[in-house]
């Protein structure tokens, strides 16, 4: 029997031979989540910026995700990955014909703070949308951002558990380590980010 190969990290170091796992924490990407590599530092001769792969596990000690890409595996932290969730366009006033269209998150324009969405519509294949104009799916992992009335929730990684259409708010849950409880918050669409 051949010796077990160690997983190789994107930074070139050999990873632990212990099996990576995915927890049930609301902050962690689920096994099989499609993600796009967004950090050039993680690229190698066979791993490219923009490659899309799937989450295969999570290593608690190093806080790294194992990601299976078309040409190999890497270990990457959450900031290096953009989940490619299926989303719905909503609340657009300037282009109301796009409301209700479905697409996939394909990028993030950090300078303009907009998601790049690949639509299924052939007339408008790609748009850049503010977070308030993107309806993320149930189960999406997000970061709470920009809350003024309850700033103690900002920066927490959470999971979308519901969407209240009439209020334009998500229900998100995260583990509050200080209180050792599951905390629920109802931020507006613009107050959550995928990265």
Structure tokens at 148: 């003024």
Q: Domain residue spans in the chain?
A: 34-83, 138-195
According to DSSP, residue 84 is labeled -
Is residue 15 scored above 60 in pLDDT?
no
Look at residue 12 and tell me whether its pLDDT is greater than 70.
Answer: no
SS3 content of the chain, % helix, strand, coil (to 5): 10, 40, 50
The CATH classification number of 138-195 equals: 2.30.30.30
Q: What is the pLDDT of residues 142-171, one digit of tens each?
A: 999 999 999 999 999 999 999 999 899 999
The answer to whether 64 touches 57, Cβ cutoff 8 Å, is no
Phi-psi region of 138 (alpha: psi -120 to 50; beta: other; left: phi over 0): beta
Separation of first and last alpha carbons in the chain = 42
Map 100-121 to HEC letters.
CCEEEEEEEECCCCEEEEEECC
Confidence of residue 40 (pLDDT cuts 50, 70, 90): low
Q: Give the β-pairing of 72-76 and 81-83.
A: unpaired
Cα radius of gyration (the chain): 18
Using CA atoms, how far apart are residues 121 and 7, in angstroms rounded to an integer? 40
Q: Is the pLDDT of residue 20 over 70?
A: no
Residue-wise pLDDT for 45-92, tens only, equals: 678 888 899 999 998 888 899 999 988 888 988 888 999 999 999 999
User: pLDDT averaged over the chain?
Assistant: 84
Residue 33 DSSP class:
-
The domain over range 34-83 is classified in CATH as 2.30.30.40: yes
Compute the residue count for the chain.
195
Q: Do domains 34-83 and 138-195 have the same CATH topology?
A: yes
| Nearest residue to 87 (alpha-carbon basis) of 123, 45, 130 | 130
* pTM: predicted TM-score of the whole model, two decimal places: 0.81
């Amino acid at each position: 029997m051949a010796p077990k190969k160690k997983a190789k990290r994107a930074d070139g170091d050999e990873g632990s031979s212990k099996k990576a796992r995915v927890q049930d924490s609301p902050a962690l990407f689920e096994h099989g989540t499609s993600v796009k590599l967004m950090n050039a530092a993680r690229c190698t001769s066979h791993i490219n910026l923009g490659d899309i792969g799937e989450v295969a596990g999570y290593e608690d000690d190093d806080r790294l995700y194992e990601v299976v890409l078309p040409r190999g595996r890497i270990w990457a932290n959450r900031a290096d990955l953009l989940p490619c969730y299926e989303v719905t366009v909503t609340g657009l006033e300037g282009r109301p014909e796009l409301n209700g269209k479905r697409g996939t998150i394909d990028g993030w324009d950090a300078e303009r703070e907009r998601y790049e969405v690949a639509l299924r519509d052939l007339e408008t294949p790609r748009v850049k949308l503010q977070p308030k104009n993107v309806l993320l799916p149930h189960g999406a992992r997000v970061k709470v951002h920009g809350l003024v009335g309850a700033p103690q929730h900002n920066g927490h990684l959470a999971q979308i558990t519901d969407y209240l259409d009439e209020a334009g708010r998500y229900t998100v849950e995260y583990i509050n380590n200080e209180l050792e409880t599951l905390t629920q918050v109802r931020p507006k669409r613009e107050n959550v980010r995928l990265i």
